[in-house]
Structure 1
Amino acid sequence: MSVSEKDEIEQSAAPLMEHLIELRRRLMWSIGGFFVAFLFCFFFAKQLFNLLVIPFKWATQWAGLDPHKVELIYTAPQEFFFTQVKLAMFGGMVIAFPLIATQIYKFIAPGLYKNERNAFLPFLIASPILFLMGASLVYFFFTPMVMWFFLAMQQAGTDDQVQISLLPKVSEYLSLIMTLIFSFGLVFQLPVVTSLMARVGMLSSQALVEKRKWAIVIAFVVAAILTPPDPISQIGLAIPTIILYEVSIWSARLIERSKERERLAREKREAAEEVAEKPADVSSA
């Protein structure tokens, strides 16, 4: 191996080490932020769980029952402890997401052009906002609706029939509400994903319009997979998905119009520069 080849390898290795050091630093900030948020959520795990039970209480009111008699159980000694750990991990990830997303952005931002950074930043802000919108829809509407649907299946005890009461386990209730929050939060990212794809030219509004029928079918299939097996939550997820798909079409059209205006402005500017250069060329001749 020649001396020049060794120098070239050493020069290429230096930026690689800098990137690895930067990556380690960003990972340490992300993991540290998640760990602090996890400890905070675990310390208040019972209070957070009681907060998540409020939609269940609303459902009992809708069903004509006493909300003060809402009861959840756990059947294994360690079940409620691990439920609190699971809740703390979920809450820690939600709280630490802005920090994690910021660290990811700071790591990739130096490799982007200025216009690419300006284009990427709004989506970085919109993503957590849309997730919170989906989570709020779950908390204030769909969780009470789903629990009301399940409460309606209870059976009062009489001489001819046995009493059947809903006593959900703490782990199963948490899994239900976390599944709903994750499903709706994920679906609400659809405008962000399609807008980014339209921005880089991987997707067009016309293609979205042409695939609308398939999108409706896929929305109901995804809703059936991600949500519990009840029609309320499945339809409740499919309909917002279809609405968000229409929002994605509208967003893609806005981006295409913006890109077209930028292209026309650039061509106009280049033409003006060519006209400005011609007198200078003639005078020099």
Structure 2
Amino acid sequence: MSFLDHLEELRWHIIRSFGAILVFGIAAFLMKDFVWGVLILGPTKPDFWTYEMFCKVSSALGSDAFCIDEMPFIIQSRKMTGQFSMHIVSSVVIGLIVAFPYAFWEIWRFVSPGLYDNERKLSRGAVFFVSLLFSLGVLFGYFLVTPISVNFLGNYQVDETILNEFDITSYVSIVITLVLACGLLFQLPIVVYFLSKAGVISPEALVKYRKHAIVVILIIAALVTPPDPITQLLVTFPLLLLYQVSIYISRVVVRKREEKMAEEEAQSSL
């Protein structure tokens, strides 16, 4: 295929990806009651699943310290276009999240023919694992990081005379940022896998610069989360765990690469 043919092929993959996002986005836009009443505004309600689980754990420990009876804040729209614009933004984001596996599969269909047979074989299952990690990150961000952040910020007061009345734009921005950031940050093992395959990084380097990585993870957690230490730690701990998993993945990749090189040298010497 010529360069222009490749561009034409890429264009259709991108069009199909955006088409899927658009279809799911329109569906989310039409399901306004469920999307807003259950999903987006769910973390603002005391009967949200995460809060109920915290209350059950607290009750099992003989306390009700983590039970939430009310959320002492209100969400309002201070702009004429506030609710409509957030309705569109939330629909697009939900469409992106739901269509992500298909969109990534489309892009992978364009990239994979350019790989060598051994590279294509070693990268088998990439779509599944990328989609799985993204979904786990989104669920982690929505069911754990977001409700704790909303509860902390919604209850925080410097003085009792100051009421917490949040604009809908601010609230939706926090929810979207936390959910998407967790989904992307959970791709760390995949990134390490391909960088290890390319020989860019090694498990020795990951171990050597582990302390530096911890600092970088803390900075990233501080950038993508609200300014409260609880949420930052909630994002930091799984990232540290994923970093440790990435070290193991890098070791496996490098070991297999060295074994293959040894086999090729042995065959060439015969």
Q: TM-score, normalised by structure 1?
A: 0.80
Measure, in 1, the Cα distance between the counterparts of 2:196 and 2:79. 50
Question: In 2, Cα distance between the equivalents of 1:197 and 1:64?
Answer: 45
Q: Is contact 1:63–1:151 with CA below 8 Å preserved after alignment? A: no
* Deviations 1:115-165, CA, capped at 9 Å, x for gaps: 11122232332112111111211222222222222233258xxxxx85444
Question: 2-side partners of 1:64 and 1:164: how far apart?
Answer: 21
Identify the residue that residue 42 of structure 2 maps to in structure 1. Answer: 54
Cα separation, 1, equivalents of 2:222 and 2:147: 19
Alignment of structure 1 residues 196-235 onto 2, 5 Å: 196-235=194-233
Larger RCO of the pair (alpha carbons < 8 Å, separation 6+): 2
How many residue pairs end up in the alignment? 253
Paired-residue identity, %: 30
Aligned partner of 2:84 in structure 1 is 81
Between 1:203-212 and 1:18-27, the stretch displaced more is: 18-27
1:182: which partner in 2? 180
RMSD: 2.4
CA distance in 2 between partners of 1:21 and 1:146 (Å): 44
Higher CA-based Rg? 1
User: Aligned partner of 1:208: which letter?
Assistant: L
SS at match of 1:168: strand
TM-score, structure 2 as length reference? 0.84
Deviation at 1:46, TM superposition (A): 3.9
Pair 65,163 (structure 1): closer, same or farther in 2 beyond 3 Å: farther
**From 13, 20, 39, the counterpart of 2:7:** 20
Does structure 2 conserve the Cα–Cα contact (< 8 Å) formed by 1:187 and 1:241? yes
Unaligned runs of 5+ in 2: 56-65
* Cα shift readout 1:6-41 (whole Å, capped 9, x = no counterpart): xxxxxxxx7223223322222221222222122112
Q: Which residue of 2 aligns with 1:250?
A: 248
Residue 95 of structure 1: aligned partner: 98
Q: Is the 8 A contact 1:56 1:143 kept in 2?
A: no
Q: Which residue of 2 aligns with 1:167?
A: 165
Whether the aligned pair in 1 keeps the contact of 2:141 and 2:183 (CA below 8 Å) is: no
Counterpart for residue 18 of structure 2: 31
Higher normalized helix content (fraction of residues): 1
Letter of the 2:11 partner, please give it. R
8 A contact 2:217–2:239 mirrored in 1: yes
Structure 2 vs 1, CA of residues 108 and 64 (structure 1 numbering), >3 Å: closer, same or farther? closer
